[in-house]
A and B are shown apart, each in its own frame.
Chain A
């Protein structure tokens, strides 16, 4: 996943005519702060637990929708699902897997005070077996935030948004812990 939209390095080579490479892809959301540790305050941890509790009746739907949106908005992510008959948005395997992932996220909420320790085996799974490029965690997190906003527009305030965003970033860091 390249950083086309934010990369200034290409511009020196560009002329002003059409060039197809830098505009076509969806922006990478990785930013620089995937690797920066912004830990959660106790208030933010409480906010996350509270919101996820409110969300629990719709968590399957949010998980299924989020993964559907991941493959729709960032089609390159389908490369991880080439073993499925159908990896299109809304397909049965995508929805089912979205629910599985959301289950993992809920599990992580319960381990919010020690994500690295609590997610050790999941991190090993992702590092040695699944080998999902960690940039994709951020993409999925964004899709989850969009779904949360869609389904809980009143509750997903800026304060909840920042806490959940930080939590998902910490979760991603914990998942990538064993990668190298």
Chain B
């Protein structure tokens, strides 16, 4: 189980309080699809992803960004049981969606950069550490049921 100090819990909550999921979700997924274009392989049914402008204007990408970020937020209410919280989602991503779990890490990198852009220096180094620890725990849980 991941151990959290009180300060880390506060930091993670503080970051989430600055995140508008409807804004950051789409931005993070768009950035991921642009910066790591091979991630587009999972979105064949989303329509036009042929240019950066198409990605940014694509409503399915935006909607899915919201879904993904909402899923990432779930752990905030279950910080002491992250593994079990994401067990079913992990099975889904492995057995139905067939997503290479390295992609979770790439999306989280892009999310951190989007959030850093919104928060500026209000995201202190200690806050960034706690935030990345949180994302790492979720990424680990999501990859856990792959076999």
Interface positions of A (Cβ within 8 A of B): 4-6, 8, 11, 18, 20, 22-27, 29, 31-32, 65, 68-69, 71-73, 89-90, 142, 145-147, 149-151, 153, 156, 158-159, 161-162, 165
Of B2, B112, B114, B147, which is within 8 A of A24 by CB? B2
Stretch at the interface among B17-25, B39-47, B62-70, B124-132: B124-132
Question: Could you say which residues of chain A place their CB within 8 Å of the CB of B144?
Answer: 11
Given contacts A5-B105, A146-B112, contact A27 B126 (CB under 8 A): no
B85-114 contacts to A (CB < 8 Å): 101-102, 105-106, 108-109, 112-114
Q: Chain A at the B interface: mostly helix, strand, loop or mixed?
A: helix
Given contacts A158-B30, A161-B113, contact A146 B128 (CB under 8 A): yes
Of B3, B120, B126, B140, which is within 8 A of A150 by CB? B120
Instruction: Determine whether B123 belongs to the interface, using a CB cutoff of 8 Å to chain A.
Output: yes
The docked-state distance in angstroms from the alpha carbon of A48 to that of B27 is 21
Question: Could you say which residues of chain B place their CB within 8 Å of the CB of A18?
Answer: 1
Question: Could you say which residues of chain A place their CB within 8 Å of the CB of B119?
Answer: 150
Given contacts A8-B146, A89-B125, A90-B125, contact A153 B132 (CB under 8 A): no
Instruction: Determine whether B118 belongs to the interface, using a CB cutoff of 8 Å to chain A.
Output: yes
Smallest Cβ-Cβ distance to B55: which chain A residue? A158
The docked-state distance in angstroms from the alpha carbon of A32 to that of B38 is 13
Q: Give the contact-size bracket for chain B.
A: 35 or more
Of B83, B128, B143, which is within 8 A of A5 by CB? B143
Smallest Cβ-Cβ distance to A12: which chain B residue? B147
B1 pairs with A158, CB closer than 8 A = no
- Which 5 pairs between the two chains have the least Cβ-Cβ distance? A72-B125, A153-B117, A158-B34, A27-B136, A89-B125
Interface string of B46-61 (1 = CB under 8 A from A): 0000001000000000
Given contacts A150-B120, A158-B34, contact A26 B129 (CB under 8 A): yes
The docked-state distance in angstroms from the alpha carbon of A165 to that of B35 is 8
A-B contacts besides A6-B101, A20-B1, 8 pairs, CB < 8 Å: A6-B139, A8-B101, A24-B3, A68-B125, A73-B132, A142-B109, A146-B128, A150-B119
